Chain A
Amino acid sequence: MSKNMFGLVNGLRQTVRVATKVNAATGLRNAPQITMTRFYHEKVIDHYQNPRNVGSLNKNDADVGTGLVGAPACGDVMRLQIKVDEATGIIQDVKFKTFGCGSAIASSSYVTELVKGKSLDDALKIKNTIIAKELSLPPVKLHCSMLAEDAIKSAVKDYKSKRKGIKPTLGAEAAATAATAATAATA
């Protein structure tokens, strides 16, 4: 059923005009001239038609972080969930659901492929410009990829806040946690 909602490729409004002109001298038609009003990269269409990792994870699980973000100017919404290996901090599984335009859905889908297998820190380094470049999004659609970047940040933040209750007792992370706690106490 969720596949159903992403089915329409013409929703991407790919407009290709084929113009033929008659050559005055020969009376023959020239080769068609193709002008594109808005041409989407095939990767966008692929991710839009066959979005990867659509669905949801149990948001109540301790190892699942949920990010829910919106693009206020478009009214698009995206939910991104990550399942993190608690020992290694590696993102094992990721699911998303986006209600928005074709570029927003494609960006969301692409980003799920990008974060799978990454550490939380590396996932946080993903910038919307990378997504937009990879999908060759036109400038007017740049903010659609921003939704995906926001969603990762929000999901990682949610996961980390869930883990706050369980403090590490050893290693660099433990020292960092202790330092944060000390700062918080004095603040």
Chain B
Amino acid sequence: MAITTLPPSYFALFPKSFPKGGPPADGFSINERSLRREFRSIQSQSHPDIAANGDKDVSALINRAYQIIRNPYLRVAHFIQLNHPSKVDITEDDIAKKYIAEVQGTSPQASIAYKEMLMAVMEAHESLELANTESDLDQLSEENNERINQSETTINKLLAANPIDWDHLIMEAIALKYWVNISNAIRDWEPGKSIHLTH
């Protein structure tokens, strides 16, 4: 599937999960189980290995949409790209950095807030590095899930506002990327195995 500069709304592909076409009309948070159920049901009609009149391109598009929507960072990034006045794609490193620099320039507090966030990220990774057993992970996992929940709550609030505070939303989305990475690192943790982030 060719990705054009502006992708179609992936939310629209899941009408049961997003009856109003996606956030902000629908909430930002998803029910993972029902999204998964909807994904499987749609895929059973389009996957060439399952459905007689399946289409490989449609199937690939649905797969991609599902991967994006189930990941809170990619979901908010997709929302931003669809709805931001400049349709920015914050999954591009230089674009995300431009916003960080702008926001950091607005006030010393904003600058400190970003630094503190990075310090928390570094600390979380270092704690994971020091983990010896599976049980050590429980607390780290709990802490990180709490961060992700808080981040999703903030995003929900920001999306409910009119007009949307885009800079704030973008900064929250960027922070979410770091937390999602830590989540993945915890998930892939094995005793004695190195931490390696793939992307």
Cβ of A68 to closest chain B Cβ, rounded Å: 5
Asked if A101 and B199 sit within 8 Å, CB to CB, the answer is: yes
Where chain A touches its partner, the secondary structure class is mixed
Where chain B touches its partner, the secondary structure class is helix
Measured CA separation A71–B197 after assembly (Å): 12
In the complex, the chain A residue whose C-beta lies closest to that of B125 is A99
Measured CA separation A11–B119 after assembly (Å): 25
Measured CA separation A5–B130 after assembly (Å): 10
Asked if A74 and B194 sit within 8 Å, CB to CB, the answer is: no
Partner of A70, one of B118, B193, B197: B118
How many B residues, CB 8 Å from partner? 31
Chain B 83-112: CB-based contact to A (< 8 A → 1; otherwise 0):
000000011111011001000000000000
Q: Point out the residues of chain B lying under 8 angstroms from A77, CB to CB.
A: 118, 121-122, 125, 178
Partner of A72, one of B129, B177, B192, B195: B177
Q: Point out the residues of chain B lying under 8 angstroms from A99, CB to CB.
A: 121-122, 125, 185, 195, 197
Measured CA separation A69–B192 after assembly (Å): 27
Most chain A CB inside 10 Å of its own CB: which residue of B90, B193, B197: B197
Partner of A75, one of B90, B97, B195, B197: B197
Q: Does B37 contact A (CB under 8 A)?
A: no
Q: Point out the residues of chain A lying under 8 angstroms from B16, CB to CB.
A: none
Cβ of B81 to closest chain A Cβ, rounded Å: 13
Asked if A72 and B90 sit within 8 Å, CB to CB, the answer is: yes
Partner of B96, one of A68, A69, A73: A73
Cβ of A10 to closest chain B Cβ, rounded Å: 9
Q: Does A100 contact B (CB under 8 A)?
A: yes
Measured CA separation A97–B121 after assembly (Å): 12
Q: Does B115 contact A (CB under 8 A)?
A: yes
Cβ of A176 to closest chain B Cβ, rounded Å: 24
Most chain A CB inside 10 Å of its own CB: which residue of B119, B185, B199: B199
Chain A 1-20: CB-based contact to B (< 8 A → 1; otherwise 0):
11011111001010000000
Q: Does A146 contact B (CB under 8 A)?
A: yes
Known contacts A72-B97, A75-B180, A75-B181, A8 near B92 by CB under 8 Å: no
Q: Point out the residues of chain A lying under 8 angstroms from B122, CB to CB.
A: 68, 77, 79, 97, 99
Count contacts between A and B, CB distance < 8 Å: 76
Cβ of B144 to closest chain A Cβ, rounded Å: 12
Measured CA separation A146–B129 after assembly (Å): 24
Measured CA separation A7–B194 after assembly (Å): 6
Measured CA separation A7–B193 after assembly (Å): 8
**Residues on B facing A (Cβ under 8 Å):** 90-94, 96-97, 100, 115, 118-119, 121-122, 125-126, 129-130, 174, 177-178, 180-181, 185, 192-199
Having A76-B197, A77-B125, one finds 20 other A-B pairs with CB under 8 Å, namely A1-B130, A4-B194, A11-B194, A11-B196, A13-B198, A68-B122, A70-B118, A70-B178, A72-B97, A73-B92, A73-B96, A74-B93, A74-B181, A75-B178, A75-B181, A99-B195, A99-B197, A101-B197, A101-B198, A146-B93
Q: 30 A-B contacts, Cβ less than 8 Å apart?
A: A1-B130, A2-B129, A5-B195, A6-B194, A7-B194, A8-B196, A68-B115, A68-B118, A70-B118, A70-B121, A72-B100, A73-B93, A73-B177, A74-B93, A74-B177, A74-B181, A75-B177, A75-B181, A75-B197, A75-B199, A76-B197, A77-B121, A77-B178, A97-B126, A99-B185, A99-B195, A101-B197, A101-B198, A143-B93, A146-B93
